[in-house]
Amino acid sequence: MATLNTVGDYIADARVLLQDTVADYRYSDAELIENINLGILEMRRLRPDLLLGSFASIPRYTVTGDAVAVDPQYRVALLYYVCGMAQLRDDEATQDSRATVFLNKFTSQMLTIAA
């Protein structure tokens, strides 16, 4: 099982939560990679310590083989963010409440222990 080391791992796990595992996909790789990059920016805002040493150049990922430099404790939180942002899209399969749950879970996992 992937342990969320690379961009590809995040995309694969996000597709499971988004019920989008069969090609051709509702959410493209490019969209999900962009969500990862947005999530990194949110992590910088909420928890600057997670990007210690990278303040001058926030990491940006472009291909599925890129290793995502996030502490193991916060990889699941980033996965939730990717899913939440995907579900925010106006789509017949999208539920706003589900997007809210994912994004709230991301925020609470960033800031609290019991989340």
Partner 1 sequence: MASTEINRIMDNLRIRLPGAVDELMKLELFNTLNDFFQDTNLWRVRLQFSTEVGARSYSLAPLPSSAYVRLISLIDSKGLGVSATMDVPGTIILATVPNTVQQLVAELTLTVDDPMSVENYPICPDWALNKYQNDIVDGVLGRMMSQAAKPYSNTQLALYHARSFRSAVAVARMEANRRNIYGAQSWVYPQQFARRSRGGGVSGGPLAPVTGDQDGVILPPAANGSLGEYLNNWLLSLPTTLPPVAGEFWNNGGVLSVS
**Contacts by residues 19-23 (CB-CB < 8 Å, ≥ 24 positions apart):** none
Q: Nearer to partner 1 by C-beta: 31 or 71?
A: 71
What residues numbered 1-40 form the site for partner 1, per CB under 8 A?
A: none
- Asked if 75 is part of the footprint of partner 1 (rule: CB under 8 A), the reply reads no
Question: In 57-94, which positions are buried (b, 16+ CB within 10 angstroms) versus exposed (e)?
Answer: eeeebeeeebebebeeebbebbbbbbbbbbbbeeeeee
Shortest Cβ 111–partner 1 spacing (Å): 6
Q: How far apart are CA 67 and CA 72, in angstroms?
A: 12
Of the candidates 107, 112, 111, the residue with the CA atom closest to the CA atom of residue 39: 107
- Selected range binding partner 1 among 22-30, 79-87, 96-104, 106-114, rule: CB under 8 A: 106-114
- Asked if 44 is part of the footprint of partner 1 (rule: CB under 8 A), the reply reads no
- Selected range binding partner 1 among 4-12, 26-34, 44-52, 91-99, rule: CB under 8 A: 44-52
Of the residues 49, 57, 65, 92, which one makes contact with partner 1 according to CB under 8 A: 49
